[in-house]
Amino acid sequence: MNSKIPEDLIERAYQGKSTKEDALQLLEIPPLELFRFADELRELAVGDIVTYVVNRNINFASRCVGTCGFCAFKDKNGYVLSLEEIMAKVREAKQAKATEVCIQGGLLPEVGLDFYLGIVEAIKAEFPEMHIHSFSPMEVYHAARISGITVKEALFRLRKSGLDTMPGTAAEILSDRVREIICPLKLKTGEWVDVVRKAHAAGIPTTATMMYGHIETPEERIEHMLIIREIQKETGGITEFVPLPFMPYNNPVGEKLIKEGRYATPGLEDLKTYAISRILLNGYVNNIQASWVKLGKKLAQFALYCGANDLGGTLMEESISKSAGASNGERISVEELEWMIHGAGRIPKERTTLYRGVREMASGNSRKVLGFGISE
């Protein structure tokens, strides 16, 4: 094993007991040594298969009452899609053989839970097999508050109507110091954790995200990952962890950073973040997703050697990152995703939202793999 990494730190990582101090120490070792260690843990956890999902993002509203300083998407006079417009996009996704639709939008005033229930019920009525991966913890919290019900009740009703899983977005950095500066009206750290725990208790698995590279410290990033680990220890309901580099364009937080001479995170810093997440979450969250939209396709490929094992989805439409300056496209084909994975020397595999196998791909690989993530 690596001589650059202390043996006791390696042992704790294998046992799933890495500490904040371990992570800070790992950030100081030569990057290639860090990447090699994360890659070894990735191989032990999930092997050489790299997964992706055929999905469609549907951003139903750019209008939002939020005041998040990092958002380039919201517009007080923006659009709100009708239910029929949403369903037209779902039908397009079905025609493109998507297994998942991911639906999120701005926070609308006076729009309560019934609006969200209507979307879910309409999709399930027409396409009962379509996986609905929708509505962030912030959206659920907002809808419950507008409707005068508890978050627990809102989640129960969403699940009953057909919501399958939730994106663990709106997490940003799980530090109240950071949140008070970049999104003061958003959920506090404890409230975000509470919604996610309640979702898992209601039978709704979630992802977990982290938007990094703005005003947070390395310690706060690490603490965020450790909070995710603690949730997973308790509930087992997190399917994947998705580090998302901050896009600094067209938003107040980013504009301030640019004036100070800081731009998007350097690629090396992105890759170190992926590696640290693999090490800290080892034994708990098996799937680390590299966002080709945020990282770019070539850096996302390299992330597969730094702990990542999933490239996310085909998306077909991705307005939020594009608004903030992402220039890597809004969609990608299955063929190109598989080409990227083969090019990285790995085995491509289409998955469902819950990391279960869908079908054997054109790669010719006959190995059948099921249950990539959470248990059946």
Domain boundaries defined on the chain = 7-350
Q: Residue 264: how many CB atoms within 10 A of its CB?
A: 20
Q: How confident is the model at residue 252 (pLDDT cuts 50, 70, 90)?
A: confident
3.20.20.60, 3.40.50.2300, 3.30.360.10, 3.20.20.70: CATH of 7-350: 3.20.20.70
Token digits of residue 141: 């919290």
Q: Are 69 and 253 in contact (CB under 8 A)?
A: yes
Q: Are 316 and 331 in contact (CB under 8 A)?
A: yes
Q: How confident is the model at residue 370 (pLDDT cuts 50, 70, 90)?
A: very low
In DSSP terms, which residues pair with 55 in a beta bridge?
100
Q: Is the pLDDT of residue 368 over 70?
A: no
pLDDT of the residue at 172: 95
Helices (H), 288-344: 292-295, 297-303, 319-323, 334-343
Q: Are 216 and 253 in contact (CB under 8 A)?
A: no
pLDDT of the residue at 114: 97
pLDDT of the residue at 74: 53
In DSSP terms, which residues pair with 241 in a beta bridge?
208, 288
Q: Convert the pLDDT of each residue in 161-211 to its tens digit.
A: 999 999 999 999 999 999 999 989 899 999 999 999 999 999 999 999 999
Helices (H), 15-150: 20-26, 31-46, 83-95, 113-126, 137-147
Give the single-character DSSP code of 351: B
Q: Is the pLDDT of residue 72 over 80?
A: no
- Residue 327 parent element (H or E): none
**Averaged confidence pLDDT in the chain:** 89
114: Cβ contacts below 8 Å, ≥ 6 apart: 147
Instruction: Please tell me which residue, 14 or 247, carries the higher pLDDT value.
Output: 14
Among left, alpha and beta (phi > 0; psi -120 to 50; other), residue 223 is: alpha
Q: Are 265 and 212 in contact (CB under 8 A)?
A: yes
Q: How confident is the model at residue 376 (pLDDT cuts 50, 70, 90)?
A: very low
Token digits of residue 101: 């639709």
Distances (CA, A) of 19 to 5, 29, 225, 287: 14, 16, 11, 20
Among left, alpha and beta (phi > 0; psi -120 to 50; other), residue 136 is: beta
Q: Nearest 5°: phi and psi at 188? A: -75, 165
Instruction: Please tell me which residue, 71 or 159, carries the higher pLDDT value.
Output: 159
Mean pLDDT within 263-281: 95
pLDDT of the residue at 324: 39
Token digits of residue 98: 């998507």
Cα–Cα distance for residue pair 322/249, rounded to 1 Å: 10
The CB-side HSE value for 34 (13 A sphere, CA atoms) comes to 24
Residues 185/187/191/193 CA torsion (nearest 10 deg): -160
Q: Is the pTM of this model over 0.85?
A: yes
Q: Is the pLDDT of residue 323 over 50?
A: no
